[in-house]
Amino acid sequence: MPYCVAVTDDELRLDTTAGRRLLATTVLGSGMVFLDGTITNVALPRIGRELDADLAGLQWVVNGYALSLAALIVVGGSLGDHFGRKRVYALGVLSFVVASVAVALAPTIHLLVCARVVQGVAAAALTPGSLAMLQSAFGERDRLKAIGAWSGMLGIATAAGPVVGGWLVGIDWRYGFWLNVPLGALVLWLLRDAPESSDPDASHRFDVPAIVLTVTMLAGLTWALTDWRAGGPFAAAVAVVSAVALVVAEKRSSHPMIPLVLFRNRIFTWVNVATLFVYASFTGSMFFVALFLQVSAGWSPLEAGAASLPISLIMLVLSGYFGGVAQRRGALVPMVGGMTLVAVGFALLARAPANPTYVRDILPGVSVQGFGMSMLVSPLTGTVLAAAPSGRSGLASGINNAVSRAAGLVAVAALPMLVGLVGSAYQDGERVAEAFGTGMWWCAGSVLLGAMAAAVGLESDVRRRASSSAGHAGVPAHHP
């Protein structure tokens, strides 16, 4: 998507104070959202005990946020293009802070879930604006360096998240959400002199039917998977009808939120299917790991949060390398190989006893996961963007992001039901340990389905590269 600066400011340079300030603003805003997700997962057992919540309530703490974020993240990017990226980003940060205060003060699980839904709406406004502001503000010479610096610094923030989040939750789970107040204030202060930008060609129409149908579809699906006995069949029917209506509405819309024409590209479609399976397994596993290590193993929130630190550290070091490998040799091998390694990591975790030791039972699994995710994340993202027309790369990224969020939403809703963990069973260490092992095998199977989808989708790309290599070598290219 082309980015046009609406205000006639000079393009920023990364080696200037203004450039560094904008970079810090986008990193801190995005880092606040990542940290919040880490804190929420680690805090779930303590939230449940303090607010007397059953497992369905804890699932909605995660899924209320994921639902509004997944449904509205594409809209958030469009709002920034239309009304100004800086303005929408600032509104998202401010709303996220206010919602975080509501979470920290929530006296009941129902009010906490409502506040989490508002947090998701705010995150949908600020998340797309982070990279969009960098893309529009920096000149071509510094743009890629700025985005690379953003990725590296955000990786460091993500790696620190489990430790910081676990430490705060160990004191009081509410402190983890109060942390967003000073972070948000700092972001808004740094943002004050940032240049504004917008897209003058952005549509002035918003696809309201698609927004409503997407929310209804995801909400119905989540309700059905979370609590089938309490209106689940009706909710499932609502989800199916909404999904069909969404496809029909998007076909007829002159300005569709999700242009179905993008899915005519085989690679774009199948890589998004792979994204669905991979992120369902990864998000679902994080939900179960946090419960297992605290409820079954009796670890502190800090210990449970820090357990996944190797994943972030390995990805921080190796993701760029495997992105380069995919660019030179194609995405198929690193993506399928990475997904296979992630499945092996889940299988290793599935063998962990009820009272695990970190080095023997947890570290091997999370380390293998880290290597696998390092191999697949950059190629997956790059392949999705490359498969879309150049003018729609921003939209393609938004759709892929929404797919990954929706995948996590479905996983957290469905996995407890699949492994028989309902009601207050999450407080029973033995039942959680048994459910954890079974859940990890489900996650392994899901990510292997993702590998199969990636292989199917990238088959044509492999043939194209082979034909190109044969042509360059002076061998007649074979065209099936």
Distance CA 63, CA 471 (A): 50
* Residues with Cβ within 8 Å of residue 5, at least 6 apart in sequence: 11, 136, 137, 195, 197
Mean pLDDT on 28-36? 87
Residue 182 to residue 188: CA distance in whole angstroms? 10
* pLDDT tens, residue by residue, 146-192: 776 777 777 777 777 788 888 998 899 999 899 999 999 999 999 88
Which whole number is the average pLDDT over 442-469?
Answer: 81
Residue 7 is predicted with a pLDDT of 39
pLDDT at 193: 82
* Cα gap 216→243, rounded to integer Å: 9
What's the pLDDT tens digit per position in 301-324?
A: 999 888 988 988 888 888 878 878
Enumerate the β-bridge partners of residue 198. Answer: 4
pTM over 0.85: no
Burial call 143-167: b when 16+ CB within 10 Å, e when fewer: beebbebbbebbbebbbbbbebbbb
Alpha helical stretches, state H, 330-428: 332-350, 363-387, 393-418
Helix ranges, 52-139 (H):
55-83, 85-105, 109-137
**What's the pLDDT score for residue 204?**
61
Identify whether the C-beta of residue 239 lies closer than 8 Å to the C-beta of residue 217: yes
Q: What is the CATH code of the structural domain delimited by 10-190?
A: 1.20.1250.20
Three-state DSSP class for residue 138: strand
* CATH number belonging to domain 258-480: 1.20.1250.20
Same fold, 10-190 and 258-480: yes
Please provide the average confidence, as pLDDT, over all residues in the chain.
84
pLDDT of residue 462: 59
- Of 55-69, 281-295, 387-401, least confident by mean pLDDT is 387-401
User: Where do the domains of the chain lie?
Assistant: 10-190, 207-256, 258-480
The single-letter DSSP state of residue 389 is: -
End-to-end CA distance of the chain: 33
Q: What pLDDT, on the 0 to 100 scale, is given for residue 4?
A: 42
pLDDT given for residue 69 in this prediction: 87
Q: Is 177 helix (H, G, I), strand (E, B) or coil?
A: helix
Residue 342 CA to residue 432 CA, distance in Å, equals: 22
